[in-house]
A and B are shown apart, each in its own frame.
Chain A
Amino acid sequence: MISDLLSVTVLIGILASGIRLATPYLYAAIGETFGQKSGVLNLGVEGQMLLGSFAAFYVTFKTGNLWLGLLTAMLVGALMGLAMAYVTVNLHAQQGISGIGFYLFGLGMSELLFQSLMGSVETIQGFPKVHIPFLSDIPGIGEIFFSQNALVYGAYLLVPLAWFVLNKTTLGLKIRAVGENPDAADSLGVSVARVRYFTIILGGTLSGIAGASLSIALLNVFQQGMTSGQGFIAVALVYFGAWRPVGVLGGALLFSLVNSLQLWIQVLGIPIPSDIAVMMPYVLTILVLVATVSRVRAPSALSKPFERED
């Protein structure tokens, strides 16, 4: 039975869905990376994803326009980010606690809206596979990497883009400085508040896309609590990736491949209790965090509210 896993078709299947399943992790964790780099810990990612997920699905379901659905998810995420930014930057809230508040808000709100606006589980036609001439036709490689939908490609493009913004632009320089020594940035006329507003709203927007990628690109359905902890794993991935987009990519792939593996184990009926299989990515989260958390230093000002005056 285990040997079923080793056939070429199944391996390609595992890899292809692993690549695909990394999508929500990537959007959410890259967004969170921006926030944390600027010194803000956003634990509300899961809530932002849930609302984004619902918004994307509902608008797509009603209008039939996937892009409009995606845009709505981004807006909803951005608004959640805006609220989070106000609470953390202006009100100097404890970020760990306020993040949990935003998570619960997103969880409850998405359920409420689902119940009152839809009531039953529906399905839609999600983002279609994009066929890339030549690349998609390579045997194996084409099936694994180049027969995915637009949001999947977008997630992977985001990685070098995020690296570029963080390391090669004046904005990235400000973000890194604000996360390490906001007093220094402030003394040079950099607005700590403005930078953090930007990164938190960007993070919210990307979390919105992460949610949308689940409901209108990967699973094409909305269910209550459908993100099932992926937003929290995304936060963990930022630590795992040592606050580097490439590291986040590595972590996201690791988790999605394990996830994909356990899905295939269930599909193939391999006699491992499904509860154990489903648990695998989460157990991995804990193990990986234990193994890596002390390895690199977090941004010095992470989760510390900034106030001038001494």
Chain B
Amino acid sequence: MTEANTLPSGRTRLDRLEMRGITKRFPGVLASDHVDFDVQAGEVHALLGENGAGKSTLMKILYGLYHPDEGQILLNGQPVTIASPTDSIRLGIGMIHQHFMLVPTLTVAENVALGLPSSRGALTDLDRVSKRILELAEIYSLKIDPSAYVWQLSVGQQQRVEIIKALYRGAALLILDEPTAVLTPQEVDELFVIMRQMTRDGHGLVFISHKLHEVVEISNRITVLRDGRKIGTRPTSEITKQDLANWMVGREVSFAPDRGDVKCAEARLQLENVACGSDRGTPGLRGVSLELCSGEILGIAGVSGNGQRELAEAITGLRKVTSGKVLLEGRDITGLTPAEITDRMLSYIPEERMRDGMIKDFSVAENMILREHTKMPYSRSGLLNLREISRHADELIAQFHVKTPSHDTLAKNLSGGNIQKVVLAREIFRTPRVIIAAQPTRGLDIGATEYVREQLLEQRRKGVAVMLISEDLDEILALSDRIAVLYEGQVMDIVPREDATPERLGLLMAGVHPEESAPVVK
């Protein structure tokens, strides 16, 4: 159905896009240093690098959000100027941002129509937009309901809306900025199917990621950036994961952290038939029973939205438990306030670290005493002991290798990895008995991920009971001693690590007991 020069969406293909000698300076930083990059129709070109390596800067220049200080962009050999997103959209370049550019309170169709001229002049033509969305959805096998509100959609579905939005605007070349960072393994697979179809149809794709196995799986070529400079470009078939990692980080990286032996001495945290609601008013947990031992990491696997968030919040007292009991070291903590629960030495590394894990506009030092700020030595009779707080912060900064100009720096100015280190430092330093870690490495680069995982294992070695809630199956498999799979608010099964394979977990995550053939019916 595709002619040589036309994409299925009806737009002409872009054979080749080239960026030459792109340089971009920010105050004090050379974000992009004479970088060459190109992408051709029908290929996935992966852009790989640690956070801050300059991947996003380069792509924001291509999309017209930043303007380069030097260098030029050529489209099919012709130099073009891209001054704003409007220009890049017109040239057929689309971008799927890492943080979705969607308006949650609007419908899918309204999000797609936003900013476009309407066939009815001043009036919206959402019925026609919806029709075209369904056409595109059909062509590209993207299941989507144009009349659904974006806030109702899962993260994977929202990403599809972003892709449709770009295709609707005639994108021939698509930049995907860390599209898998927020997806579950299943959603990643679905995305890859879509990406493969798009390249077959003649689209060119730029895939930004720091997850090596994904890059190796999906891309045709790989360009590695480090500190704003291009390290090199290679066909994917000619390079190994280990080489890539070393290239990217600039040193040897270990993939298999040392685990040490399990020693389960006592049950630290017990959940007995815990049920609670969810934000959408539907049941969040429906009778979860679990036991978390000292010195173990219990992995909680599951497809996003199956009760992981509710589980963490029910345990930490942030969500009302409607029935059942939570016991911490044998004592009933159901219904206690979050402060009372954390005072019993339960630490929490929340999923939304920027929202729930810290206060963006507070300094690093202040964020480090958020939990303990009412206690000695950080305060006395309501007065903060600023000297002690600073000293404490400096100690933690050194101990946890937080990269920050000073302890007075505002948390929001740190990179994602360093923000997580601040949270980690605060939660670990108080020598907790139990740690609930929710998606602790989501969105972090390889170096920071490695560090966080090491710290969790270190805590386990010290006998702390660690619950690791993660949608990254590789992470669950690498760290956990036992793995519980959540499905629709219930524990499908708890599998010892030795018996856990991605296939078995995958089935459980889909609600299927391996020994059964039919999905569990509620």
Interface residues of A (CB under 8 A from B): 168-174, 176-177, 180-181, 183-190, 300, 308
Judge whether B123 is part of the interface by a CB distance below 8 angstroms: yes
The secondary-structure label for the interface of chain A is helix
B114 in contact with A185 (CB, 8 Å):
yes
Q: Which residues of A contact B385 (CB under 8 A)?
A: none
The CA-CA distance from A275 to B468 in the complex, in Å, is 63
How far does the Cβ of B126 sit from chain A's closest Cβ, in whole Å?
9
A184 in contact with B118 (CB, 8 Å):
no
How far does the Cβ of A194 sit from chain B's closest Cβ, in whole Å?
12
B65 in contact with A177 (CB, 8 Å):
no
A168 in contact with B123 (CB, 8 Å):
yes
Q: How many A-B residue pairs have CB under 8 A?
A: 72
The CA-CA distance from A168 to B117 in the complex, in Å, is 14
Judge whether B289 is part of the interface by a CB distance below 8 angstroms: no
The CA-CA distance from A181 to B95 in the complex, in Å, is 17
B122 in contact with A171 (CB, 8 Å):
yes
Q: Which residue, B95, B99, B105, B116, has most C-beta atoms of chain A within 10 A?
A: B105
Judge whether B483 is part of the interface by a CB distance below 8 angstroms: no
B123 in contact with A173 (CB, 8 Å):
no
Interface residues of B (CB under 8 A from A): 65, 84-86, 89, 95, 97, 99-106, 110-111, 113-118, 122-124, 165
B103 in contact with A180 (CB, 8 Å):
yes
Q: Which residue, B86, B99, B124, has most C-beta atoms of chain A within 10 A?
A: B124
A177 in contact with B103 (CB, 8 Å):
yes
Q: Which residues of B contact A180 (CB under 8 A)?
A: 103-106
A189 in contact with B86 (CB, 8 Å):
yes
How far does the Cβ of A38 sit from chain B's closest Cβ, in whole Å?
12
A181 in contact with B84 (CB, 8 Å):
no
A188 in contact with B123 (CB, 8 Å):
no
The answer to whether A169 and B123 touch (CB under 8 A), given A176-B105, A185-B103, A189-B84, is: yes
The answer to whether A181 and B101 touch (CB under 8 A), given A174-B114, A188-B115, A189-B115, is: yes
A188 in contact with B85 (CB, 8 Å):
yes
The answer to whether A170 and B122 touch (CB under 8 A), given A188-B85, A189-B86, A190-B115, is: yes
How far does the Cβ of A165 sit from chain B's closest Cβ, in whole Å?
9
The answer to whether A170 and B103 touch (CB under 8 A), given A187-B85, A189-B85, is: no
How far does the Cβ of A33 sit from chain B's closest Cβ, in whole Å?
15
Q: Which residues of B contact A168 (CB under 8 A)?
A: 123-124
A183 in contact with B123 (CB, 8 Å):
no
A173 in contact with B104 (CB, 8 Å):
no
A184 in contact with B123 (CB, 8 Å):
no
A170 in contact with B118 (CB, 8 Å):
yes
The chain A residue with its CB closest to the CB of B113 is A173
B105 in contact with A188 (CB, 8 Å):
no
A184 in contact with B103 (CB, 8 Å):
yes
- List 8 additional contacts besides A174-B115, A177-B106; criterion CB under 8 Å: A170-B116, A172-B124, A173-B110, A181-B102, A181-B104, A183-B99, A186-B85, A188-B114
Q: Which residue, B85, B103, B105, B116, has most C-beta atoms of chain A within 10 A?
A: B103
A-B contact pairs, 7 of them (CB 8 A): A169-B122, A170-B123, A172-B124, A173-B124, A177-B106, A177-B114, A181-B103
The 9 A-B residue pairs whose C-beta atoms are closest, nearest first, are A188-B115, A184-B101, A189-B86, A190-B115, A187-B101, A181-B103, A180-B103, A177-B103, A170-B118
Q: Which residues of B contact A170 (CB under 8 A)?
A: 113, 116-118, 122-124
The chain B residue with its CB closest to the CB of A170 is B118
How far does the Cβ of B103 sit from chain A's closest Cβ, in whole Å?
5
The CA-CA distance from A302 to B95 in the complex, in Å, is 26
How far does the Cβ of A304 sit from chain B's closest Cβ, in whole Å?
13
The chain A residue with its CB closest to the CB of B89 is A189
The CA-CA distance from A189 to B166 in the complex, in Å, is 13
The chain B residue with its CB closest to the CB of A164 is B123
Q: Which residues of A contact B101 (CB under 8 A)?
A: 181, 183-184, 187-188
A176 in contact with B106 (CB, 8 Å):
yes
Q: Which residues of A contact B123 (CB under 8 A)?
A: 168-170
The CA-CA distance from A172 to B122 in the complex, in Å, is 9
The CA-CA distance from A186 to B95 in the complex, in Å, is 13
The CA-CA distance from A174 to B102 in the complex, in Å, is 13
How far does the Cβ of B206 sit from chain A's closest Cβ, in whole Å?
16
Contact pick for B65, options A172, A181, A308, CB 8 Å? A308
How far does the Cβ of B258 sit from chain A's closest Cβ, in whole Å?
38
Q: Which residues of B contact A189 (CB under 8 A)?
A: 84-86, 89, 115
How far does the Cβ of B55 sit from chain A's closest Cβ, in whole Å?
14
How far does the Cβ of B122 sit from chain A's closest Cβ, in whole Å?
5
The CA-CA distance from A142 to B103 in the complex, in Å, is 45
Q: Which residues of B contact A181 (CB under 8 A)?
A: 101-104
The CA-CA distance from A110 to B37 in the complex, in Å, is 62
Q: Which residues of B contact A187 (CB under 8 A)?
A: 65, 85, 95, 97, 101
Contact pick for B103, options A171, A172, A176, A308, CB 8 Å? A176
How far does the Cβ of B359 sit from chain A's closest Cβ, in whole Å?
17
The CA-CA distance from A277 to B454 in the complex, in Å, is 69
The chain B residue with its CB closest to the CB of A184 is B101
Q: Which residues of B contact A177 (CB under 8 A)?
A: 103, 106, 110-111, 114
A173 in contact with B106 (CB, 8 Å):
yes
Q: Which residues of B contact A172 (CB under 8 A)?
A: 124
The CA-CA distance from A171 to B121 in the complex, in Å, is 10
The answer to whether A185 and B105 touch (CB under 8 A), given A169-B124, A170-B124, is: no
Q: Which residues of A contact B86 (CB under 8 A)?
A: 189
How far does the Cβ of A170 sit from chain B's closest Cβ, in whole Å?
5
Contact pick for B114, options A169, A183, A190, A300, CB 8 Å? A190
How far does the Cβ of A300 sit from chain B's closest Cβ, in whole Å?
8
The CA-CA distance from A159 to B104 in the complex, in Å, is 25
Q: Which residue, A170, A174, A185, A190, has most C-beta atoms of chain B within 10 A?
A: A170
The chain B residue with its CB closest to the CB of A171 is B122
The chain B residue with its CB closest to the CB of A172 is B124
Q: Which residues of B contact A183 (CB under 8 A)?
A: 99, 101
Q: Which residue, A180, A186, A187, A300, has most C-beta atoms of chain B within 10 A?
A: A187
How far does the Cβ of B61 sit from chain A's closest Cβ, in whole Å?
13
